[in-house]
Amino acid sequence: MPSNLGYALLGLLARAPRTGYQLSQAMREPIGFFWSASHSQVYPELAGLESARLVRHRVVDGPGPRENKQYRLTPAGRRALADWVVEPAAPPSGRDEFLLKIYSLWTAEPARARDLVTKQREQHHEMLARYQEMEQEFVRDAPSEMADPSTRQFSAYATLRRGLSFERHAIAWCDWLVEQLDAGPRRS
């Protein structure tokens, strides 16, 4: 049984054949927005998927110095992916270093605390801008597929839409927090 990373790779290969290097790049972006992995994880996982007969590869020639192994899904791989997709997902273990800091924010100097939050707000703003650019690309390149749930473009757009919503709400929350910090201690 593949790991989540394995299914991420199967999901990419279901869209198009790719080399290990290309898969590694795709794991940075766009998959990295919700599941990241470095190339040192990708290559062993890919070997595992092949020994489980879920993917196959053939050597093609490319610009690089090494042999290019292009991977594709097998019918069994396609089935494994479709079965996994509809199984309920485990609740996210939810590791957010920033929220962990916020939980202890009361121990910090107020001015430094404010800096931390405004810096985080800026980062969310940058991510939002990046997502908005990606949204424009969808509108440009695949306006009709975006509304058709049976297309790979729709699935990708759905994840992007979650990112947009998430960043907007994170910014609003940062704004609220800065407001509270600026108001300071108030005895009622």
For tokens 């300071």, the residue is 184
Give the dihedral sign, CA 68/51/85/166.
Answer: negative
**Alpha carbons 120 and 122: distance in angstroms, whole number:** 5
Residue 44 is a binding residue for DNA (CB under 7 A): yes
What's the closest the beta carbon of residue 62 comes to a copy of itself, in angstroms?
26
Specify the amino acid at residue 185: P
* Binder of residue 14, out of DNA, a copy of itself, none (CB less than 5 to 8 A by kind): a copy of itself
Candidate list 14, 17, 21, 118; residue touching DNA; CB under 7 A:
21
Residue 109: CB atoms within 10 A of its CB come to: 8
Which one of residues 7, 11, 24, 113 is an interface residue with DNA (CB under 7 A)? 24
Q: Does 41 bind DNA (CB under 7 A)?
A: yes
State residue 59 phi and psi, 5-degree precision.
-85, 125
Q: Is 78 in the site for a copy of itself (CB under 8 A)?
A: yes
Alpha carbon distance 140, 134 (integer Å) = 10
Residue 110 CB contacts under 8 Å (≥ 6 apart), including other chains? 181, 184
Q: Quick check: 67 binds DNA (CB under 7 A)?
A: yes
The residue (of 22 and 68) whose beta carbon lies closer to a copy of itself is 22
Smallest separation, CB 119 to a copy of itself (Å): 6
In the bound state with DNA, the residue whose beta carbon lies nearer, of 55 and 146, is: 55
Which residues, in sequence order, are bridge partners of residue 19?
A: 70
Where does this chain bind DNA (CB under 7 A)? Answer: 3-5, 19-22, 24-25, 36-41, 43-44, 46-47, 62-69, 93, 95
